[in-house]
Amino acid sequence: KEEEMAAATPTLYARLGGVDAISAVVDEFIGRVAANPDMARTFKPLLDEVGAQGASSPKLISLRNNLIDQIGEASGGPQKYKGKDMVTAHKGMNITTVEFNSLAGNLSGALDKFSVPTAEKTELLTVIASLQPMIVGK
Ligand code: HEM
C-alpha cells in the first residue's frame, strides 16, 4: 500500500547528524569567524571578552548556544531559539553584503571540514542566505 511504501524524508537536522554534529560545526564556524579579518570590525567586543576571559566568556557561551539552537530549530530539531530576532541582534552594525558573504563562507568551510554532503550543505546555506535582508544594512 502507498502509505507503507512512502518513506518519510528525514529532517535536515537528522541528516546533519543531530545536536552533536551541529555543535561541532558551530564550534568550527566560530573559530573561523574569530580568525576572519572581515569580521574584526563587528566582533571586536566579543573577541576582546574572549581575549580576557577565554572559553568562559559569557558572550561566547551565549552566541554558541544561540547558534546551536537556531540551526537546530531551523533544520527541524527539537531546539527552540531563545535569542534576539535577527534584525534586533544586528541593529546598528551596518553589516555589508561583503561581510555577510564572508561569514557565509566561514559556515561553508566548517560544513566542508566535517564532509557534510552537498545536498545538506546547500539546504542549510539556503536557510542562512534567506536571513540576509534581516541582517545586512541594519
Ligand atoms: C545568516 C547569518 C547570521 C546568523 C544566522 C547570525 C546569528 C546571530 C545570532 C544568533 C546572534 C546572537 C543573538 C543574541 O545574542 O540574542 C548574533 C549576534 C551577532 N552577530 Fe550575527 N548572524 C549572522 C550574520 C552576521 C554577520 C554577517 C555579522 C558580521 C559581519 C554578524 C555579527 C554579529 C555580532 C557582532 C553579534 C553579537 C555577538 C555578541 O557579542 O554577543 N552576524 N548573530
| Nearest ligand 1 atom to alpha carbon 81 | 10
Range of the domain at 113: 16-135
- State the residue for C-alpha cell 551541529: 22
In this predicted structure, what is the pLDDT of residue 7? 81
Residue 11 lies in a domain: no
Does position 91 have pLDDT exceeding 60, yes or no?
Answer: yes
Residue 27 lies in a domain: yes
Beta-carbon neighbour count of residue 124 at 10 Å?
Answer: 22
Residue 25, ligand 1, Cβ within 6 A:
no
For residue range 42-71, list pLDDT tens digits in order. 999 999 999 999 999 999 999 999 999 999
ipTM for this model: 0.96
In the reported structure, the alpha carbon of residue 2 is separated from the centroid of ligand 1 by a whole-number distance in angstroms of 45
Question: For residue 120, what is the domain's CATH number?
Answer: 1.10.490.10
For residue range 2-50, list pLDDT tens digits in order. 556 778 889 999 999 999 999 999 999 999 999 999 999 999 999 999 9
Does position 81 have pLDDT exceeding 70, yes or no?
Answer: yes
Residue 6 lies in a domain: no
Task: Of 26, 23, 12, give the one whose Cα is nearest residue 103.
Answer: 26
Number of domains in the chain: 1
Residue 130 lies in a domain: yes
For residue range 99-119, list pLDDT tens digits in order. 999 999 999 999 999 999 999
In this predicted structure, what is the pLDDT of residue 78? 98
Residue 100 lies in a domain: yes
Q: What's the Cα-to-Cα distance from 118 to each of 47, 86, 133, rounded to whole Å? A: 31, 26, 24
| Nearest ligand 1 atom to alpha carbon 82 | 16
CA 131, distance to chain mean position in Å, is 11
Average pLDDT of span 120-133 = 97
In this predicted structure, what is the pLDDT of residue 8? 86
In the reported structure, the alpha carbon of residue 89 is separated from the centroid of ligand 1 by a whole-number distance in angstroms of 6
Residue 10 lies in a domain: no
Residue 67, ligand 1, Cβ within 6 A:
yes
